[in-house]
Chain A
């Protein structure tokens, strides 16, 4: 059916869009995150800093693709540090930028709450990416509430084109209204590619440092004055928004009006393309008069917004009669299906014909630690030690489920060590208490709790899982890798020296591919009274380079189906159809196996061996 000439799908080959090449004004496909980065670059940003976090990571990765003479871009140790670096850039008088995931703003919020009082010298823009549906996060918080709390404008792009334009605009608004500005994205926007019309970079001259202690130094006497300025700023922004293009009124019938924003707008358009729609490009502050006018123009008003009822509550405070969360859920990611269900419930759309279910039984496929993951042996040993384990944020959280099932708690970045201290100091736990934390997470927020544990003499063991990279987010450098965001050489943190310097007396660095040593060392470390630290050292098998060694194989003759190797949860090992005493024998996928040898080490019958005989050294 490819070449029917009357097909409406076929277009004249002459109309084919040319490849964008280096033409800055061409249309090019961009992910939302790429577009945000492009917007910051076009706006003349000079200082950019971030800590990686899904779904925001690609923003800074893409900014680093622009020339170093255009802007300084860095991975910082955490989001607060990143925001403070950007604030420093703003103080210095250049346009500055930081990006983070929603929970990253919790870390950075201390700086934001003060900086909003100070305002800006050079523009200060924060791109914050929410994760509705919790694809890869620990919660589903709504960043728009921070907008209210910090009285900081929150712009709400819908697609990649708007992501670029709104980011660029955010820099202008920041300087015009003397305020930090948040550009809010969501996973769906950040990770959707669409065509974007790009522009040229604006070179903005440096304003120079502005010596103005009453504005730049937040002591009580100064801060009191600034709070009033904030309230006045909110009023000015509201007035600006009354006539801004950020608020778009798409006129339709007078029966129904829908107020919506962000990606929710796309689902509404998909379902009710001809309805009266007020599309908000901003969620804080709001243009009250425009909202009143829109609500008065239609008989029924429905608010379609993902997560919390922020807009709905604002409208209700204005005394307007609207519906919102009575029709749509407060949790989870929106989709055309979810929005349709709400509109059906509102009797605005007919219910959908039921799709006949097919007779298939889907199989669960949860994410796994990779074949050869250097974290595996640590958790295998911890499970065997019957220890109480507080985990942290990273790939290794996957060890909380079967078959490793060795993590008891996971809270937030850096929580593991202080959580373990608290459990130990409660004095009620009879099992050894162990905190496990990755290298990047340790440098992000693990150092203060480690100092605290030593200071308060907590009897805990800390496992520093050093895989030489920020793995979970796709392999970003950090101060422990010896490289910076642009891949240039940088100072490399010496963990042993660092840990020793805060007063830890028991430190040992071991190879995570040596199962016996891991078991033995953990036993010794947990028997030590006080803070002991084991650095479990091996690079991530995926980043910065994909590792592949000679694969192992199973001698089917010798395999007794004992399942010990299956306890590793290695994706390269699966069952064969051959049974021994009713248990499946196993096989190793040669392409997936990287030759870590852990399965051979735990095998109870020595049935696993390298395919190629190891070369003697």
Chain B
């Protein structure tokens, strides 16, 4: 696939460039910035919005607060042009999607303009506990399974980088977002130095140099981007593709004579499949729910529960 932006080269007139040129005069340019609470989605969109305002455009930047700090999905719509009415971007109309986290990028992919939309993604994975809930033996993690190569096959203009790792190489992983801004800068028609000016104003003074370096590296990354050669998402067991684990264990066996009715096992069973019966002894009331996690066996103060290996 072709590179989108090599300043000064013929590629400068590639699909994305033509797209923004022709559209911006009438229809606003739509940039959707997404990530996880705490990553800096709002900061990145503020840089872009400030830049657009300084260039004399009408800008609307829309976000939702409240859950932002609580590890949830966060998004910010930035629209700029001569006239901007709606504060939000309709599905299928984002010119650029900037994802600070890989699975969040996938979530919003349907907002990209078909064919011409540009995806700029950090391959960083923030795995929520929600993706680690399946207690069945050999269960795979519930994290999104698509790799950069999978997405590059579907989205023509897909640019991904492990921005945190690259920025860490420069000496400060916190400059990852500036690296992404460097990548974004190649997708929009603003002078490189206006970007640098705005970013310099908005980062802590001591970090200007390293942020400028990260910005340059983001631009370079796009220039020599090769989807086949991305240090993409770490390999995760894919849903439905994990090797089935051979279960060697039998269901918990409860020694009624040793059980003293403390009900620790009942209260700590994650699946709630144990109860105290009429004699106040622990019994496995719903064996079909048991995942053989052995928690009851480990917690029983009287060694009254055992999960035996199959013969």
Asked if residues B130 and A136 are in contact (CB atoms below 8 Å), the reply is no
Q: Is B294 an interface residue (CB 8 A)?
A: yes
Note all chain B residues with C-beta closer than 8 A to A567.
270
The distance in angstroms between the C-alpha atoms of A193 and B249, with both chains bound, is: 58
**Chain A residue total in the interface (Cβ 8 A):** 90
8 A Cβ contacts from A261-277 to B = 263, 265-267, 269-270, 273
Describe A's contact surface by its main secondary structure: loop
Q: Looking at the complex, which of A172-180, A362-370, A491-499 is the stretch in contact with chain B?
A: A362-370
Q: Is B278 an interface residue (CB 8 A)?
A: no
Asked if residues A395 and B62 are in contact (CB atoms below 8 Å), the reply is no
8 A Cβ contacts from B189-247 to A = 189-192, 194, 235-237, 239, 245, 247
Contact (A367, B71) CB under 8 Å given A1-B14, A191-B63: yes
Asked if residues A581 and B292 are in contact (CB atoms below 8 Å), the reply is yes
Contact (A363, B142) CB under 8 Å given A16-B56, A385-B267: yes
Note all chain A residues with C-beta closer than 8 A to B235.
577
The distance in angstroms between the C-alpha atoms of A472 and B192, with both chains bound, is: 39
Q: Choose among A2, A15, A357, A402 the residue that contacts B192 (Cβ–Cβ < 8 A).
A: A2
Q: Is A412 an interface residue (CB 8 A)?
A: no
The distance in angstroms between the C-alpha atoms of A340 and B64, with both chains bound, is: 22
The distance in angstroms between the C-alpha atoms of A63 and B281, with both chains bound, is: 62
Q: Is B251 an interface residue (CB 8 A)?
A: no
Closest residue of B by beta carbon distance from A368: B71
Contact (A1, B189) CB under 8 Å given A193-B49, A362-B107: yes
Q: Is A151 an interface residue (CB 8 A)?
A: no
Note all chain A residues with C-beta closer than 8 A to B139.
584
Asked if residues B189 and A192 are in contact (CB atoms below 8 Å), the reply is no
Note all chain B residues with C-beta closer than 8 A to A581.
137, 248-249, 292, 294
Q: Is B186 an interface residue (CB 8 A)?
A: yes
Q: Is A195 an interface residue (CB 8 A)?
A: yes
Closest residue of A by beta carbon distance from B197: A16
Asked if residues B56 and A8 are in contact (CB atoms below 8 Å), the reply is no
Most central of A16, A266, A571, A582 by chain B CB within 10 Å: A582
Asked if residues B72 and A366 are in contact (CB atoms below 8 Å), the reply is yes
Least Cβ–Cβ distance between B26 and chain A, in angstroms: 10
Least Cβ–Cβ distance between A225 and chain B, in angstroms: 44
Q: Is A313 an interface residue (CB 8 A)?
A: no
The distance in angstroms between the C-alpha atoms of A3 and B192, with both chains bound, is: 8
The distance in angstroms between the C-alpha atoms of A363 and B102, with both chains bound, is: 11
Q: Is A335 an interface residue (CB 8 A)?
A: yes
Asked if residues B249 and A2 are in contact (CB atoms below 8 Å), the reply is no
The distance in angstroms between the C-alpha atoms of A270 and B143, with both chains bound, is: 37
Note all chain B residues with C-beta closer than 8 A to A187.
64
Least Cβ–Cβ distance between B46 and chain A, in angstroms: 8
Closest residue of A by beta carbon distance from B243: A579
8 A Cβ contacts from A232-289 to B = 263, 265-267, 269-270, 273
Q: Looking at the complex, which of B5-13, B254-262, B282-290 is the stretch in contact with chain A?
A: B5-13
Closest residue of B by beta carbon distance from A570: B129
Asked if residues B141 and A367 are in contact (CB atoms below 8 Å), the reply is no
The distance in angstroms between the C-alpha atoms of A573 and B141, with both chains bound, is: 13
Q: Choose among B49, B56, B129, B247 the residue that contacts A368 (Cβ–Cβ < 8 A).
A: B129
Q: Is B4 an interface residue (CB 8 A)?
A: yes
Note all chain A residues with C-beta closer than 8 A to B249.
581
Note all chain A residues with C-beta closer than 8 A to B138.
579, 582
Note all chain A residues with C-beta closer than 8 A to B185.
2
Asked if residues B103 and A362 are in contact (CB atoms below 8 Å), the reply is yes
Asked if residues B295 and A9 are in contact (CB atoms below 8 Å), the reply is no
The distance in angstroms between the C-alpha atoms of A188 and B150, with both chains bound, is: 34
Q: Choose among B21, B70, B194 the residue that contacts A395 (Cβ–Cβ < 8 A).
A: B70
Q: Is A520 an interface residue (CB 8 A)?
A: no
Note all chain A residues with C-beta closer than 8 A to B189.
1-4, 7, 9-10
The distance in angstroms between the C-alpha atoms of A270 and B61, with both chains bound, is: 16
Least Cβ–Cβ distance between B268 and chain A, in angstroms: 6
Q: Is A336 an interface residue (CB 8 A)?
A: yes
Least Cβ–Cβ distance between B33 and chain A, in angstroms: 13
Encode contact with A along B1-35: 1 for CB under 8 Å, 0 otherwise.
00011011001111011001110110001000000
Encode contact with B along A565-591: 1 for CB under 8 Å, 0 otherwise.
011011101110101011110100000
8 A Cβ contacts from A26-61 to B = 29, 54-55, 57-58
Asked if residues A360 and B146 are in contact (CB atoms below 8 Å), the reply is yes
Closest residue of B by beta carbon distance from A383: B267
Note all chain A residues with C-beta closer than 8 A to B145.
361
Note all chain B residues with C-beta closer than 8 A to A10.
189-191
Least Cβ–Cβ distance between B223 and chain A, in angstroms: 11
Asked if residues A2 and B21 are in contact (CB atoms below 8 Å), the reply is no
Note all chain B residues with C-beta closer than 8 A to A584.
132, 139, 141
Q: Is A563 an interface residue (CB 8 A)?
A: yes
Q: Is A557 an interface residue (CB 8 A)?
A: no
Note all chain B residues with C-beta closer than 8 A to A192.
60-63, 87
Asked if residues A135 and B67 are in contact (CB atoms below 8 Å), the reply is yes
The distance in angstroms between the C-alpha atoms of A374 and B278, with both chains bound, is: 37
Asked if residues A8 and B21 are in contact (CB atoms below 8 Å), the reply is yes
The distance in angstroms between the C-alpha atoms of A267 and B85, with both chains bound, is: 7
The distance in angstroms between the C-alpha atoms of A267 and B135, with both chains bound, is: 46
Asked if residues B294 and A3 are in contact (CB atoms below 8 Å), the reply is no
Least Cβ–Cβ distance between B160 and chain A, in angstroms: 14
Contact (A368, B128) CB under 8 Å given A2-B186, A7-B21: yes
Asked if residues A54 and B59 are in contact (CB atoms below 8 Å), the reply is no
Note all chain A residues with C-beta closer than 8 A to B154.
358-360
Q: Choose among A1, A135, A265, A577 the residue that contacts B186 (Cβ–Cβ < 8 A).
A: A1
The distance in angstroms between the C-alpha atoms of A189 and B60, with both chains bound, is: 10
Asked if residues B60 and A563 are in contact (CB atoms below 8 Å), the reply is no
The distance in angstroms between the C-alpha atoms of A403 and B54, with both chains bound, is: 47
Q: Is B50 an interface residue (CB 8 A)?
A: yes
Note all chain A residues with C-beta closer than 8 A to B293.
561-563, 583
Asked if residues A358 and B109 are in contact (CB atoms below 8 Å), the reply is yes
Q: Is B43 an interface residue (CB 8 A)?
A: no
Asked if residues B191 and A2 are in contact (CB atoms below 8 Å), the reply is yes
Asked if residues A335 and B88 are in contact (CB atoms below 8 Å), the reply is yes
Q: Interface on A for B, CB 8 Å cutoff?
A: 1-4, 7-11, 13, 15-17, 29, 54-55, 57-58, 135-136, 159, 187-189, 191-195, 263, 265-267, 269-270, 273, 335-337, 340, 352, 355-370, 384-386, 395, 398, 402-403, 472-474, 542, 560-564, 566-567, 569-571, 573-575, 577, 579, 581-584, 586, 604-605
Sample of 19 further A-B pairs with CB below 8 A, known A1-B4, A3-B7, A57-B65: A2-B190, A4-B12, A10-B191, A29-B50, A135-B67, A187-B64, A191-B63, A193-B59, A194-B58, A267-B86, A336-B90, A337-B90, A365-B71, A365-B107, A368-B72, A368-B130, A398-B70, A474-B65, A573-B129
Q: Which 10 A-B pairs have the closest CB atoms?
A: A582-B137, A1-B17, A136-B66, A367-B72, A582-B245, A9-B189, A367-B70, A54-B66, A384-B267, A192-B87
Q: What are 6 pairs between A and B in contact, CB < 8 Å?
A: A1-B7, A1-B20, A362-B103, A366-B128, A581-B137, A582-B137
Q: Interface on B for A, CB 8 Å cutoff?
A: 4-5, 7-8, 11-14, 16-17, 20-22, 24-25, 29, 36-37, 49-50, 53-67, 69-73, 84-88, 90-92, 103-104, 106-107, 109-110, 114, 127-133, 135-139, 141-146, 150-151, 154-155, 185-192, 194, 235-237, 239, 245, 247-249, 267-268, 270, 291-295, 298-299
